[in-house]
Amino acid sequence: MNERWSGLAPLDPERDPDRWEALLRRTRAAAAGELARRALAAGPAGQLARWVRPALAMAASLVIAAAGMLALADRAPEQASSAPGVAEAMGVPFAMTVSAEEGAQSAAEQLLLPGAAESP
């Protein structure tokens, strides 16, 4: 490795102005495509373009989920009845749900006063 500085005179733009301007033109021409891309990305169109791909992915996943739900909803009634009800899922005993559905006076009366419903 060379630790010695020989001078930066060859890099001086005032030494050969025509050569320096030609170098700047070539550099700007080579970078024009990238500069145009960055200018587009910095504007509002760039912000929208960054959201298009995730938004399309989310829309596709929602369509797939909806199709799956529709496929499950079209099952026969005997298959759907095997699923637990809300009361069963909450842990309410089956006997309480049957008596409440059959028209008992009130579930609270049955819980607090179990013999009250039997007496006239």
Q: Measured between alpha carbons, how far is residue 26 from residues 22, 74, 79, 101, 116 in Å?
A: 6, 67, 73, 86, 99
- State the pLDDT at residue 104: 53
Distance from C-alpha of 29 to C-alpha of 102, rounded to nearest angstrom:
85
Q: Give the residue among 6, 11, 36, 35 at the shortest CA–CA distance from 23.
A: 11
Would you say residue 102 has pLDDT above 70? no
Domain boundaries, the chain: 83-113
- In one-letter notation, the amino acid at residue 86 is V
Scan for tokens 């373009």, then name that residue.
49
- In one-letter notation, the amino acid at residue 84 is P
Per the model's pLDDT, the better-predicted residue between 33 and 115 turns out to be 33
* Structure confidence by residue, pLDDT tens digits, 34-70: 998 888 778 787 778 788 889 999 999 999 999 988 8
